[in-house]
Amino acid sequence: MMRYPGGKLRLQKKINALISQTYDTNQSWVVGEPFTGGGGSLINMAEQFPKWSFHINDYNPEMYTFWKFFVNASKKDMQEFYRLIKVMHPSVPIYRAMFDSKPKTDLERAFRILFLNKTSYSGYVTQSLPIGGADQKSKWKVGVYWNPDNIIKKCERARKAISGRILSVNNLDCNDFIDTYDFNFVYADPPYIKFGKQWYNCDFDINSLKAFREKLNSVNRWCISMDSLESTEELFKNDKIKYIQVKHTAKSKNEEIKAANELVVFPNEIK
């Protein structure tokens, strides 16, 4: 639903299939997603596995703020949210004004995050980089992803999928999140190691990933999707790994988007 670096929406059906091959997913599980991000994986899993309920989490304050509103919003709140989407016509001056704004309500904050996510370079809410640049001479303009009908349709689909099934929305460190609840299953899509500091506002590195992998020893069932690097393959060498290909929608500066291998990892005890 939201644009997010390293998002798994394109791959989620393949990942869900691997999860179903590995576990009996037709159960009423309490599932944890410590890195909810743009919500693509969450919505897809909610649709694929109708008996699951979710604790969701994101350390990024903007993503947490958006999901806190989106999960708890009343019908009246969502009607106003959709009205704001319909009347908005993105331009660079409006982008600048929205970037500098300081909204006072959860609804206003969520709308600001959605707007900046759809109109910023690679979806970066915290960096003042409108699509197409200040002069709008690029092929892609600031409003290229601002399609009100499509945005509202995706919101409605997401609201339907998760209705009554989100147990909590959290803004915790991933390891603290694992300690906070009892999970039947955890699906984790951590920040990518290679471009982590460029793509995310955190310092999640290979040592962070190692600590998180160790934390998952307290959970019986889990799955991690992660970029395939020498360091990540070494970290998961004793676990069960599947490889799938992905072409990311975000990129680092001066680097072309290329297809790459993705690791989908399960505990080493899995047969």
Task: Give residue 34's identity as a one-letter amino acid code.
Answer: P
Mean pLDDT of 211-238: 93
Q: What is the pLDDT of residues 27-43, one digit of tens each?
A: 999 999 999 999 999 99
Q: What is the pLDDT of residues 227-260, one digit of tens each?
A: 888 999 999 999 999 998 766 554 444 444 455 6
Is the pLDDT at 124 greater than 70? The verdict is yes
Q: What is the pLDDT of residues 81-113, one digit of tens each?
A: 999 999 999 999 999 999 999 999 999 999 999
Q: What is the pLDDT of residues 57-89, one digit of tens each?
A: 999 999 999 999 999 999 999 999 999 999 999
Q: What is the pLDDT of residues 187-197, one digit of tens each?
A: 999 988 765 55
Task: Give residue 160's identity as a one-letter amino acid code.
Answer: K
Mean pLDDT of 144-165: 97
Is the pLDDT at 20 greater than 50? The verdict is yes
Q: Contact, 116 vs 50, CB < 8 A?
A: no
Looking at residue 183, what is its pLDDT?
A: 98
Looking at residue 254, what is its pLDDT?
A: 45
CA angle, corner 141, sides to 136 and 142, nearest 5? 95
More confident residue, 251 or 262: 262
Is the pLDDT at 159 greater than 70? The verdict is yes
Helix 61-72 / helix 106-119 crossing angle, nearest 10 deg: 120
Mean pLDDT of 201-214: 87
Looking up tokens 């690679």 gives 122
Mean pLDDT of 129-155: 95
Q: Rounded to an integer, what distance in angstroms lies between the CA atom of residue 255 and that of residue 229?
A: 17
Q: Rounded to an integer, what distance in angstroms lies between the CA atom of residue 25 and that of residue 160?
A: 20
Is the pLDDT at 198 greater than 60? The verdict is no
Is the pLDDT at 14 greater than 80? The verdict is yes
Looking at residue 135, what is its pLDDT?
A: 94
Is the pLDDT at 182 greater than 60? The verdict is yes
Task: Give residue 243's identity as a one-letter amino acid code.
Answer: Y
Q: Rounded to an integer, what distance in angstroms lies between the CA atom of residue 81 and that of residue 108?
A: 8
Q: Rounded to an integer, what distance in angstroms lies between the CA atom of residue 162 and that of residue 139?
A: 36
Token code pair at residue 42: 């969450």
Q: Rounded to an integer, what distance in angstroms lies between the CA atom of residue 219 and that of residue 212?
A: 11
What sections of 49-145 are H helices per DSSP? 61-72, 75-87, 92-100, 106-119
Is the pLDDT at 5 greater than 90? The verdict is no
Looking at residue 257, what is its pLDDT?
A: 46
- DSSP state letter for 192: P
CB atoms within 10 A of CB 261: 12
pTM equals: 0.90
Mean pLDDT of 13-32: 95
Looking at residue 216, what is its pLDDT?
A: 96
* 211 membership: H or E segment, kind and range: helix 206-215
Is the pLDDT at 9 greater than 80? The verdict is no
24-34 burial, b if ≥16 CB within 10 A, otherwise e? ebeeebebbbb
Helix, strand, or coil (residue 237): coil
All residues at 6 or more sequence positions from 149 whose CB lies less than 8 Å from its CB, including other chains: none
Token code pair at residue 88: 């908005």
Helix 92-100 / helix 106-119 crossing angle, nearest 10 deg: 140
More confident residue, 255 or 140: 140
Q: Rounded to an integer, what distance in angstroms lies between the CA atom of residue 225 and that of residue 9?
A: 12
